[in-house]
Amino acid sequence: MNDFTLILQGGLVGLSVTAPVGPMGVLCISRTLTQGITRGLATGAGATTVQAGYTLILLLCLHQVEPWLNTNGFLLSLGSALMMTTLAIRLLRQPGQQSGRRAASSSLVAAYLSALAVNLLNPVLLVMLLGAVTLVFGADPPDPPDAAFLVLGVCIGSTAWWMVLSAATALLRTRLNAAVLQTLNRATAALLITFSLAALARAMPG
């Protein structure tokens, strides 16, 4: 398998786990609409970082990940649900657009770190990546050079999606007034709480 093919397959893996509308997609759209494209991109960057890191871990420890996930899935889901609920509460309490360079910088860091945390605690992401990686390489971990090219492809595919989503959403931002933006914040908060409840429901023992 040549390097370009690996990067292409990695890109498809990145798109396959990023494009379905989930908590990060909803959050990216909401932040882009209410706070600007940089917040949406920062949210996407946090998600991409975790996807690349998890892909690398899967490629290096393919046989150990599934048993670990079966053991710790509930705790991960609980943490993810709490994190999404916290983000929902912050959205509901958001007073409006921030001003000032320090607030802007702080908001970018917060957007990145919150996306990082939600994705780190999301067992569904691990399951999706596990399935996609196994589909590409089978049950045996690849050689380190092949793994590196696949991870690069995941970064490219995921980053491309977040850039397109943020840019497309930003085009709508100037057409929306404050009341509409506030309504979108509330709708996003409701969706995040729904996602958190779904995460807990999936993790509950049958």
Structure tokens at 140: 């045996």
Whole-number Å distance between alpha carbons of 47 and 194: 20
Query: Does the pLDDT of residue 100 top 90, yes or no?
Result: no
Note the pLDDT tens digit of each residue in 41-89. 999 999 999 999 999 888 887 767 777 777 777 777 777 788 778 878 8
Note the pLDDT tens digit of each residue in 173-203. 777 666 777 777 788 788 878 878 877 776 6
* Residue 10: other Cβ atoms inside 10 A: 28
Question: Mind spelling out the 3-state secondary structure of 59-93?
Answer: HHCHHHHHHHHHHHHHHHHHHHHHHHHHHHHHHHH
What lies within 8 Å, CB to CB, of 134 at 6+ separation is 62
Of the candidates 59, 78, 71, which has an alpha carbon nearest to the alpha carbon of residue 145?
A: 59
Determine the residue type at 150. L
